[in-house]
Amino acid sequence: MKINLENLTIRQAHEDLKMGAYTAVELTQAYLDVIAKKNNEINAYLEVFEDALQQASQADEMIKSGNATLFTGIPFAVKDNILIKGRTASASSKMLSNYTATYDASVIAKLKECGVVFLGRTNMDEFAMGGSTENSAFGPTKNPHDISCVPGGSSGGSAAAVSMGGALAALGSDTGGSIRQPASLCGVVGLKPTYGSVSRHGLMAMGSSLDQIGPFGKTVEDVRAIFNVIKGADSMDSTSVPLHLRGKDEVIKTKMVIGVPEDFLTMEGIDADVLQNFRETLSKLEGKGHVIKKVTLPNLKYSLASYYIIMPAESSTNLARFDGVRYGLSIKGDTLFDDYAKTRGSGFGKEVRRRIMLGAYVLSAGYYDAYYNKATAVRALIQKDFNEAFSGVDVIATPTSPTPAFKIGEKANDPLAMYLADIFTVPINLAGVPAISVPSGFGERDGNKLPLGFQIIAPHFKEERLFSLGADIENL
């Protein structure tokens, strides 16, 4: 039978599978057909798993035996920096192009228990360094809404896979906006959970104090359901927050106080139609009974400067393990230093090398106090700003991205312009709070309608507020 993938949700697919409207094999095949038709052009997937139908057949057995969960038979895409045992995990880098994962990431183990079908691994900016998925060693991913544009990054492949109808849901990772920004640019929902709420065990580390795994979906409810499965404390992750420190469940208000950092919205670089769409969405929410309140976050303007010191410093440290000795690419030279230089020079792309050098510089003797220590001090001020703001509001709202999707190659030779695209998303990772991007309309560029996203930010471990208000935005 022909399955209507366009309007399909996880809940609806679950009900259909239970009722026997179609099988998990048929559902998986429907997505494989879309991938076969579209992926050559979009390049969302680096690899489609040959055993996807076999996984689906096993899911059908779970359903027949009465052991199905909400996710049994649901086709997922997975970002290429999240480990699945026995499968290639390259982080879209030549350095790890032949690396096979030896264990499952904790989030993958949880989804496997639920009977999820993993369709394949998705393209990304190399080692998650970038905001456009142009930095992949295996070619850029294109935006399904306009193939001349980027899908965002670094989780652009996962966002594009869901957007093009090539997966019902996907996993990505977010270090400075790498889930929310591509979700916004591709017109899907993306969640960056509270730091420490989802295990990072089995995620290739980029910025260890910033990284967080999160879901993509077509609806807020789908993303909520995925989050509720993958969250939880994990003894394998030292940054995982114990359950008793996460606070108690709260009764979610139907009408919220929404904080808006007006001073932050007057900065240069925000497209007029993005700002207009944001204001219109706020007005509609106000019409539904929510209260809009101005908040002050005085140190938010220093977020990018702080982030682009802390993140490269942590990245350079984390990527030191890829040295051509233990695993991954290895190019032999005349000396041990030669081995390192040749391997890292050939294995890492330009953006990765740039960030490694920047990180090594800010951590070096004589500059550590001048740069890294000051950046961490600013980070503490940003965290304090959020804590104070949340004492008077339930959530804070901004646009997700200052622009719609930009052209492929448009910012490739201007790193600063690329970094500025993270202006609304980076502060959230520095503060460790959760945020969600929900589609809020379109902006027109060259006659094409490109998606825009509305970002909602909540206090630590208050994701339910995001889901509640996000659902309201979907129904505007």
Secondary structure of residue 258 in the 3-state scheme: strand
Helix axes 303-318, 374-389, angle to 10 degrees: 120
- Active-site residue, selected from the candidate residues 92, 136, 158, 178: 178
* pLDDT value for 440: 98
User: How is residue 409 written in tokens?
Assistant: 């190659």
Spatial contact of 45 and 77, defined as CB atoms under 8 Å apart: yes
* pLDDT value for 21: 97
- Active-site residue, selected from the candidate residues 79, 142, 218, 411: 79
- Active-site residue, selected from the candidate residues 132, 136, 154, 163: 154
* pLDDT value for 328: 87
195-223 burial string, b = 16+ CB within 10 Å, else e?
bbbbbbbbbbbbbebbbbbbbbbbbbbbb
End-to-end CA distance of the chain: 33
According to DSSP, residue 290 is labeled: -
Spatial contact of 128 and 81, defined as CB atoms under 8 Å apart: yes
Q: How far apart are CA 147 and CA 163, in angstroms?
A: 12
* pLDDT value for 326: 81
Q: Tell me the pLDDT tens digit for each residue of 213-272.
A: 999 999 999 999 999 999 999 999 999 999 999 988 899 999 999 999 999 998 888 999
Spatial contact of 224 and 193, defined as CB atoms under 8 Å apart: no
Q: Containing H/E element for 61?
A: helix 52-64
Q: How far apart are CA 278 and CA 16, in angstroms?
A: 36
Q: How far apart are CA 432 and CA 162, in angstroms?
A: 26
The structural domains of the chain, ordered by start, are: 10-245 (3.90.1300.10)
* pLDDT value for 66: 95
Burial class (CB in 10 A: 0-12, 13-18, 19+), 341: middle
Phi-psi region of 75 (alpha: psi -120 to 50; beta: other; left: phi over 0): beta
DSSP class per residue in 340-408 = HHHHHHHHS-HHHHHHHHHHHHHTSTTTIIIIIIHHHHHHHHHHHHHHHHTTT-SEEEEES-SSSPPBT
Distance of CA 99 to the CA centre of its chain: 22
184 included as an active-site residue: no
According to DSSP, residue 426 is labeled: H
Q: How many CB atoms lie within 10 A of CB 419?
A: 18
Instruction: Of 209, 107, 105, 216, give the one whose Cα is nearest residue 152.
Output: 216
- The CA-atom distances, in angstroms, between 47 and each of 18, 73, 118, 138, 298 are 29, 19, 11, 11, 45
Residue labelled with tokens 């980029």: 206
330 included as an active-site residue: no
> Which residues in the chain come in under a pLDDT of 50?
none
Q: Tell me the pLDDT tens digit for each residue of 325-383.
A: 888 899 999 998 899 899 999 999 999 999 999 999 999 998 999 999 999 999 999 99
218 included as an active-site residue: no
Instruction: Of 152, 135, 129, 222, give the one whose Cα is nearest residue 400.
Output: 152
Query: pTM value?
Result: 0.97
